């Protein structure tokens, strides 16, 4: 029990005697010792991972951030250190002096990197004792994540977590080095800035000196980096903390880090080359993995057509196929009606899945519906040539054969079909593709498939008020061939305009996002008109940027990486919390510090958030 431990710690007469740190120098780290060190005297400092007391012989696994090494004491050799070792417990903090020796034949531990040697202790000092930790600090242990976050400092003691922190450090260092060598300057921008009306919800900071007014924590340095281009910084980058008050996910935290980059007098091709070089450098430096350049490029349209996603995982195939032409005169009315109402019919082939059970099929249908599809049709191409499907009787033999031919389905395969509006049909199948790919084990481990997605739609319709809004942000250039559509009278043309916006995708994860910016005032004004923004509104929201652009803005473009996601993928873990030292829960709280917390009425009053009267009322309660 915690209380008992506390008593033990404070009341027990120390049998070991805690030593202060008196300048004794550590000579090396535990995990770095090997056979070459045999014979040398060392001074180690670290935590007790485990003590094994064999009576007249005691082993201690001493741990620091590099790893572990076995310390031995026997009572003949050093009675004093033996006496101390006897009382040592897990997580005690020790200074061990001794000699590295090769282990006797037959006592080596091939399972440990330092298993060929051990340290014969002739002096052990205890810097500190430790309560029994709330969970075992061992690499493979996986306690409840809430508990890990509550005691994050203990969770981070686990070597895999320390590895993640180290990896993150190496990654950011490699990025800084690479960008600096390529002429980029790191410039800091304000985190306390002006609230932006569009985009994510802001975290607000009240101004004491200007009661009733608020700063917003920056959602990104977007506007500042464009101002820096106007300033002639030319090549900018920043590892910037960003804050967004939106619901959390495994890959989303309320505060996160962007690798923010912007360059002047460059187009996509030049920027892509710099970024590709950065990724190559990063993977080589940190993971010692060679990656191939250049990265393939795919337009947004093609990505949606083939993978039903704007961040396709191209580590495996199972692509989506268009069978609209095949079924436009189908006897199955769902298909025919879809085609007549300008919809589309798409299919994908799940290899070897013809034998799927009723239950598994039902779950696929449920998934498809969850992803927005009206339904999901399946055709099982059974071994022997028979085709089983709830709609088999509505389909002609030609249709059945045609679908097999287009999707590449063979005997034993299952074809899944969704009919509906383009984006609905392909995204539903795209999600099914991912979930099946995972289930069928089609996704290879250890592969890095980078991919540029280009020509995103410039605008998208806001579902709530059906207004057009910028898909990326309002300063994104349209592609030249669509510039004329900006002024088109035809409303449906707006959906067709493509932007000079791009994402870098890795293994199905959006790693980075950017665009070529508008740097001419007239084009920008057209853009605002398109977004139904009046001159006044634009002025109110981004006036300072528009004004800056009137003093000579260079053409510029940029990109921003989610550093947390990048490191997550490099570390091979499933959540960015694993690569963030002190993450927040899915309710955006910090279990370690207890933030967010209440503040005193005095504090609120000082900030102008509480009137004196309210305060008195509150205190009276």
> Which residues, numbered 64-123, are part of the site for RNA (CB under 7 A)?
70, 72, 74-76, 89-90, 103-104, 106-109, 111-112, 115, 118
Q: At its nearest, how many Å lie between RNA and the CB of residue 198?
A: 5
Helices (H), 159-267: 159-181, 222-230
Nearer CB in complex with RNA: 380/580 = 580
Q: Which residues contact 529 (CB under 8 A, 6 or more apart)?
A: none
Cβ pair 319, 428 in contact under 8 A = no
Tell me which residues in 353-372 interact with RNA (CB under 7 A): 370
Nearer CB in complex with RNA: 107/341 = 107
Dist CA 249 CA 272 (whole Å): 29
Tell me which residues in 521-580 interact with RNA (CB under 7 A): 575, 577
Cis preceding-peptide flag for 294 (omega within 30 of 0) = yes
Q: Give the residue, chosen from 26, 43, 122, 134, that forms a contact with RNA under the rule CB under 7 A.
A: 134
Tell me which residues in 205-264 interact with RNA (CB under 7 A): 219-220, 222-223, 244, 246-252
Nearer CB in complex with RNA: 41/52 = 52
Nearer CB in complex with RNA: 266/515 = 515
Q: At its nearest, how many Å lie between RNA and the CB of residue 467?
A: 11
Tell me which residues in 22-61 interact with RNA (CB under 7 A): 50, 52-57, 59, 61
Cβ pair 118, 110 in contact under 8 A = no
Q: At its nearest, how many Å lie between RNA and the CB of residue 549?
A: 16
Nearer CB in complex with RNA: 112/537 = 112
Q: At its nearest, how many Å lie between RNA and the CB of residue 438?
A: 12
The pairs formed by 325-331 with CB atoms below 8 angstroms and a separation of 24 or more are 326/399, 326/402, 326/403, 326/406, 327/395, 327/399, 327/403, 330/394, 330/395, 330/396, 330/399, 331/394, 331/395, 331/396
Residue 195 found at the interface with RNA (CB under 7 A): no
Nearer CB in complex with RNA: 109/405 = 109
3-state DSSP call for residue 531? coil
Nearest to 419 by CA among 527, 330, 492, 480: 330
Which span sits near RNA by CB under 7 A: 265-273, 396-404, 585-593, 594-602? Answer: 585-593
Chain CA centroid to CA 117, Å: 39
Q: At its nearest, how many Å lie between RNA and the CB of residue 491?
A: 19
Which span sits near RNA by CB under 7 A: 170-178, 192-200, 278-286, 544-552? Answer: 192-200
Q: At its nearest, how many Å lie between RNA and the CB of residue 13?
A: 12
**The dihedral formed by the CA atoms of 572, 180, 177 and 518, expressed in degrees to the nearest 10:** 0
Q: Give the residue, chosen from 119, 149, 327, 403, that forms a contact with RNA under the rule CB under 7 A.
A: 149
Which span sits near RNA by CB under 7 A: 129-137, 209-217, 294-302, 612-620? Answer: 129-137
Q: At its nearest, how many Å lie between RNA and the CB of residue 471?
A: 6
Nearer CB in complex with RNA: 74/539 = 74
Dist CA 324 CA 517 (whole Å): 37
Which span sits near RNA by CB under 7 A: 472-480, 491-499, 520-528, 565-573? Answer: 472-480
Nearest to 557 by CA among 183, 264, 299: 264
Tell me which residues in 488-507 interact with RNA (CB under 7 A): none
Q: At its nearest, how many Å lie between RNA and the CB of residue 118?
A: 5
Q: Which residues contact 31 (CB under 8 A, 6 or more apart)?
A: 64, 65, 66, 67, 68, 69, 113, 114
Residue 601 found at the interface with RNA (CB under 7 A): no
3-state DSSP call for residue 3? helix
Tell me which residues in 262-301 interact with RNA (CB under 7 A): none
Q: Which residues contact 48 (CB under 8 A, 6 or more apart)?
A: 60, 61, 62, 63, 88, 89, 90, 91, 92, 93, 94
Dist CA 583 CA 152 (whole Å): 9
Q: Give the residue, chosen from 135, 422, 448, 468, that forms a contact with RNA under the rule CB under 7 A.
A: 135
In the sheet that holds 320-322, the strands lie side by side as 320-322, 344-350, 413-420, 377-381, 387-388
> How big is the site for RNA, counted in residues (CB under 7 A)?
71
Cβ pair 65, 162 in contact under 8 A = yes
Residue 143 found at the interface with RNA (CB under 7 A): yes
């Amino acid at each position: 029990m915690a209380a008992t431990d506390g008593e033990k710690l404070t009341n027990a007469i120390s049998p070991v005697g805690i030593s202060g740190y008196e300048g004794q120098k550590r000579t090396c780290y535990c995990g770095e010792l090997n056979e070459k060190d045999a014979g040398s005297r060392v001074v180690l400092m670290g935590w007790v991972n485990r003590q094994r007391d064999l009576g007249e012989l005691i082993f201690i696994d001493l741990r620091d951030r590099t790893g572990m090494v076995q310390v031995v004491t026997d009572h003949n050799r050093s009675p004093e250190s033996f006496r101390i070792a006897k009382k040592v417990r897990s997580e005690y903090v020790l200074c061990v002096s001794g000699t590295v020796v090769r282990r006797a034949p037959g006592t080596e531990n091939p399972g440990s990197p330092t298993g060929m040697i051990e340290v014969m202790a002739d002096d052990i000092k205890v810097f500190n004792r430790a309560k029994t930790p709330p969970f075992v600090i061992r690499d493979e242990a996986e306690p409840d994540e809430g508990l890990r976050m509550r005691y994050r400092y203990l969770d981070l003691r686990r070597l895999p977590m320390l590895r993640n922190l180290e990896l993150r450090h190496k990654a950011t260092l490699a990025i800084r080095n690479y960008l600096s060598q390529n002429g980029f300057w790191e410039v800091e921008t304000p985190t306390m800035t002006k609230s932006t009306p569009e985009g994510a919800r802001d975290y607000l900071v009240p101004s004491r000196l200007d009661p009733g007014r608020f700063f917003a924590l920056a959602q990104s340095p977007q506007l500042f980096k464009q101002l820096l281009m106007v300033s002639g910084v030319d090549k900018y980058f920043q590892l910037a903390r960003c804050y967004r008050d939106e619901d959390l996910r495994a890959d989303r935290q309320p505060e996160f880090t962007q690798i923010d980059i912007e360059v002047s007098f460059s187009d996509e091709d030049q920027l892509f080359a710099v970024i590709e070089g950065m990724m190559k450098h990063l993977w080589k430096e940190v993971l010692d993995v060679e990656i191939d350049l250049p990265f393939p490029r795919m337009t947004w349209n093609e990505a949606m057509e083939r993978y039903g996603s704007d961040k396709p995982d191209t580590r495996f195939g199972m692509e989506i196929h268009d069978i609209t032409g095949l079924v436009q005169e189908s006897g199955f009315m769902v298909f025919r009606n879809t085609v007549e109402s300008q919809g589309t019919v798409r299919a994908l082939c799940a290899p070897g899945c013809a034998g799927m059970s009723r239950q598994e099929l039902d779950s696929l249908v449920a998934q498809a519906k969850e992803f927005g599809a009206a339904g999901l049709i399946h055709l099982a191409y059974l071994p022997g040539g028979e085709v089983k499907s709830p709609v088999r009787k509505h389909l002609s033999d030609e249709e059945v054969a045609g679908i097999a031919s287009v999707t590449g389905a063979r005997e034993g395969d299952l074809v899944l079909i969704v009919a509906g509006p383009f984006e609905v049909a392909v995204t539903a199948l795209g999600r099914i593709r991912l979930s099946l790919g995972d289930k069928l084990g089609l996704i290879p481990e250890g592969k890095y498939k980078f991919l540029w997605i280009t020509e995103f739609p410039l605008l998208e319709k806001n579902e709530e008020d059906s207004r057009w809004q910028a898909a990326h942000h309002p300063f994104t250039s349209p592609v030249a061939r669509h510039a004329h559509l900006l002024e088109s009278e035809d409303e449906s043309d707006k959906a067709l305009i493509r932007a000079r916006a791009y994402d870098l995708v890795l293994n199905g994860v959006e790693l980075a996002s950017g665009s070529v910016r508008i740097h001419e005032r007239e084009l920008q004004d057209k853009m605002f008109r398109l977004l139904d923004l009046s001159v006044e509104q634009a002025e109110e929201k981004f006036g300072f940027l528009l004004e800056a652009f009137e003093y000579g803005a260079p053409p510029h473009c940029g990109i921003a990486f989610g550093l947390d996601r990048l490191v997550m993928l490099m570390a091979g873990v499933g959540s960015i919390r694993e690569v963030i030292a002190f993450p927040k829960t899915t309710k955006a709280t910090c279990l370690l510090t207890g933030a967010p917390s209440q503040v005193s009425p005095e504090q609120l009053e000082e900030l102008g958030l509480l009137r004196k009267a309210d305060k008195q009322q509150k205190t009276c309660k």
